[in-house]
Chain A
Amino acid sequence: MRLRLAGVFATWTISLLAASGAIIGAPRPTYHAPGLTHVFASIPGPLPALRLDFGLDPLALPFLALLAMLGFAVGVWCLRRDRPIDAVLIAGFMAAMLAVLVARSAAAFFLAWEAMSLVSVFLVAAHHERRDVRRAALVYLVVAQSGALCILLALSVLVAYNSGDGSFAAMAYANYAAPMLRAPALPPATRTAVFLLALVGFGSKAGLLPLHFWLPRAHPVAPPSASALLSGAMLKVALYGLCLVIFQLAAPGAAWWGVVLITIGTLSAIGGVLYALVEHDLKRLLAYHSVENVGIITIGIGVAVLAESNRYEQLAGLALIAALYHAINHGLFKGLLFLGAGVVAESAGTVDLEKLGGLWRPLRWTAPLFLVGCVAIVGLPPLNGFVSEWLTFQTLINGFRVVQPDERLVLLGAVMGLALTGGLAATCFVKVFGIVFLGQSRRVPERPVARENFDAGTAALGILAALCALFGLAPMLAFDPLDRVVATLGPGFEWPSYFHSLPVLPVTLIALPFAGAIACVVLATRRGVRRVPTWTCGSPVTPAAQYTATAFSKPLRTIFAFVLLPDRRRVVEAGNAWFPKHIVYTTRSRDVIDETSRRFGALALWTARRSRALQSGSLRLYLAYAVVALVVVVMLARR
């Protein structure tokens, strides 16, 4: 108990620190150039490149705010749930993420980054007695360290071109002042190399396609509190790193960076939601949705780069607001959903959608709060997901006018991809909520689920759900501070208020549907609703008559079979073909990336096996090779 309390208080202290950082660092109009941050702690190293600087940069503030809110809620959760040691690890993880966000020199950033990766590996490997968990942790570690290598290379290049000084402020200022001094801070080829390295390094950590494969393996096996922080906060820290490189360290970005980011973002959004649709493990499904949402955020960042390179700073500012807003929102609702999945796993004993159902009644606190998370992640009004997705759409649509004609087609593709993603996400969460919480339990034999009481865990869900509602119903609460943050990126970045409707839009949209729901409740109590058995054509009503998750996603699995590569097995047991006793139907979708890497691996092995014939171990054969080689060399030399 003492260990748990220590962990929780440490977590709260760190979120308090993050919150005060976000408040103290609130941008003032005195900022003249991006990245010129006040450094509050500087630890000298043996070389200027190894100096450790810490400061509060405006770009990090939205992420600090997210870390504070999510960390506080996860701390509340840890009061009653998960192991005590998890609470301590969570505190360490929070501290590492905080350090990444306040790092203002290359060495400090990289050290904090590595600490964050390592602590999170411990969290992923929490249940290390299971083989799949060990494997997931190993895959995660390999990806994290390969990504870190790319980041290290990118940072080293930047430090080298900054005459050996590791300070981020100096690099950002050099880039900012370069047009005035007529001396480019970085040669274009180097800039490109830094961008690509950062994209691979941070993109793999953020879970962008095609380097997302570790994410659905690692996130679900961690305890709920860790999953919430991994998906809700760590992916955002990775995106912060990407923003830092693009908008400060290697600024200004070229137009094609934007095109690359928008394309990858759109593909990640669609791919993430498609794999989520066919997934029946609740936590893996949520992990795939992180890929989708990171994709949406990346689209925003991409439009910002594209608009900036077209000298349209206003739109770039708006795009970045949309991306940062969605980053905060995704942290909140994904945290809520992962913690909710934790409650489901604990009370029902499984997260397999095919065995769940009817949890609305026993989980009387979690179920409505989980519904809030579902509505938010789908982007339905009036919750926070709606506002940031709406902003992303507006960004893309306004982009049609200000970018080059051929780049407009990329934006058009992103608009259509995003709309498709929205529809598919709605389908997916109808499946999740409808199968898990509504209807009846699908488990045979049915296992009673104890009635839930209000405790620290549900309180944590409540906090996050309240924040989701707050940032949806009062969008200016986030929009105005974010506008001030992006205004520090340069002159003209603030978004003039073209959106007169934004402050009231969510409330206006929801007013009549809400009134309709109230009217239904009133009518149902006054006139009464008689309860009758469900219509099943006269056959007995059993839980087995309900639609299942596999059946629900069947049409989309068939339509998108070319991506999802479904693998069906139908085993009919006993009896003759007309009256089978028992039919087992399994379907599994293969991840295209996994499948590709498997094929590559198989090809490499096959080549190796074939080429083994050359190395039979016979000395005479080797002598023959030597003679042939000699003859070939002599013939070539005579030419």
Chain B
Amino acid sequence: MIFVLQVLIIVALAPLVQGAMKSLRARLQGRPGPSPLQPYRDLAKLWQKEALLPEGVSSIAVCAPGIALGVSLTFAAMLPIFNALPALDDVVALVFLLALGRFFLALAALDSRSAFAGMAASREMTFASLVEPTLLTALLGAAALLPPVVPFLGSQPLGVAHLSELWLLTDPRFFGLAGMLGFGAFFLVLLAETARIPIDNQETHYELTMIHEGLALEYSGWQLAFLQIASYVRQFSFLILSVRLLPLYGSWVESPLTYWLTGGLTILSCCAAIAVLIVLVETAFAKLRLFEVPQLLGTALILAATSVAMRLLGAAL
């Protein structure tokens, strides 16, 4: 039942990650900004408020926040931290799982009869369908199931591509150019999936420019709280997963006694570093025009494909 502990830790820390990133971004822009603890206060406030929904919506719109939250929690349980849940230790299943939450949120947005929500649903689904191949390919590029980087290191038996074995069987020293390209692709996926500039803007106030926020436009009260926890947990989970694509993580597994302490610290410090990188990108760049986003996502796909192709052709060094 250790994965329950894992999910609880992630859920507890996820709002802090969001708050800290927001606070840091404000500082970089020369504003005092909110406290890093502000998301907790917002969630507590939202939880107490009454929920409103548009007239005549179906039960899909009522259920969608719960489905999104369930998807995020399952994602958190899938992460290869304690290796506790073997059934979900699966790269492909992760991609399908994320699609499930998105599908119902987009349906709920269309159900609300709002043009803004419909527009957000259209854009979210469009970008998601371009991100999905990159996500899968970037993760596969680091999978132990692929042909081994160096033949004599041996490789896994056939089976599922495990999340817990990214860059594991292959010595981290062989991370190489392929690994860097894969990580670069995954970083762009991370920006898209966590609704960050240059693809989306979490802090926009214009309905016409909202993508991820637009899906939640008609939600309020405890339902909005559900959706917000869901996106915080998803963001933190993606950060942890991106640490998995870095080579330094693999070497910690060899010392199981110190694993809990050093491993935990490594994950958190790497997450912090990547989060800072995201905030720097958000500060330095402007949001892309809608129809320039596909070019960025296409670049990410090509990076990921090159990374996998290098491993497949045995040229990872």
Residues of A near any B CB (own CB < 8 A)? 314-315, 358, 360-361, 371, 375, 378-381, 386, 389-390, 393-394, 397-398, 400-402, 405, 408-409, 412, 415-417, 419-420, 422-424, 426-427, 429-430, 433-435, 437-440, 498-501, 504-505, 508-521, 523-524, 527-537, 541, 543, 545-547, 551-556, 558-559
Contacts and interface: CB of A to CB of B under 8 A. Distances in A.
Considering residues A416, A505, A510, which has the most beta carbons from chain B within 10 angstroms of its beta carbon? Answer: A416
B133 A517 contact: no
Interface stretch (B153-161, B168-176, B260-268): B153-161
Interface in B149-201: 155, 157-161
Contact of A409 (B92, B125, B133, B309): B309
Nearest to A375: B103
B70 A501 contact: no
Most buried by B among A386, A501, A517, A520: A520
Given A438-B58, A512-B77, A546-B114, 15 more contacts: A393-B92, A394-B92, A398-B159, A409-B309, A412-B312, A419-B135, A501-B160, A504-B87, A511-B70, A512-B71, A513-B67, A516-B65, A529-B62, A531-B53, A547-B119
A145 to B, nearest CB: 38
A527 B222 contact: yes
Interface of B: 50-60, 62-71, 73-74, 77, 85-90, 92-93, 95-97, 99-103, 106-107, 109-119, 121-123, 125-126, 128-133, 135-137, 140, 143, 145-147, 155, 157-161, 207, 217-218, 222-223, 226, 290-291, 294, 301, 305, 308-309, 312-314
A213 to B, nearest CB: 25
A390 B107 contact: no
Contacts of B131: 423
A517 B51 contact: no
Nearest to B156: A401
B93 A426 contact: no
A538 to B, nearest CB: 12
18 contacts: A371-B60, A397-B140, A423-B99, A426-B102, A427-B126, A430-B103, A498-B158, A500-B87, A509-B88, A509-B96, A511-B70, A516-B71, A517-B63, A528-B51, A532-B53, A534-B112, A535-B114, A555-B126
B122 to A, nearest CB: 5
A521 B59 contact: yes
Nearest to B291: A558
Q: Which of B85, B146, B159 has the most CB of A within 10 A?
A: B159
A517 B312 contact: no
Contacts of B65: 516, 520
Contact of A401 (B68, B145, B223): B145
Contact of B99 (A314, A422, A437, A520): A422
Nearest to B217: A535
Contact of A520 (B62, B89, B109, B123): B62
A19 B60 CA distance: 37
Contacts of B305: 412, 416
B113 A524 contact: no
Contact of B133 (A423, A435, A514, A554): A423
A356 B84 CA distance: 47
B70 A398 contact: no
Contacts of B85: 508
A415 B87 contact: no
A310 to B, nearest CB: 13
A94 to B, nearest CB: 34
Contact of B106 (A434, A532, A546): A434
B53 A529 contact: yes
Contacts of B101: 513
A554 B158 contact: no
A400 B71 contact: no
Which of B57, B85, B143 gathers most chain A CB within 10 Å?
Answer: B57
A515 B312 CA distance: 41
Contacts of A517: 63, 66-67, 70
Contacts of B123: 555
Given A438-B58, A520-B65, A552 B74 contact: no
A438 B158 contact: no
A378 B99 contact: yes
Contacts of A530: 50-53
Contacts of B314: 405
B218 A555 contact: no
Given A439-B110, A533-B54, A534-B114, A513 B71 contact: yes
Contacts of B111: 434, 438-439
9 A-B pairs with least C-beta separation = A547-B118, A423-B129, A434-B110, A516-B66, A516-B70, A513-B70, A520-B66, A419-B133, A512-B70
B77 to A, nearest CB: 8
A521 B63 CA distance: 6
Nearest to B123: A555
A500 B114 CA distance: 45
Contacts of B309: 409, 412
Contact of B51 (A513, A529, A554): A529
B213 to A, nearest CB: 13
Given A400-B146, A430-B125, A501-B86, A547 B115 contact: yes
B232 to A, nearest CB: 15
B126 A559 contact: yes
A405 B114 contact: no
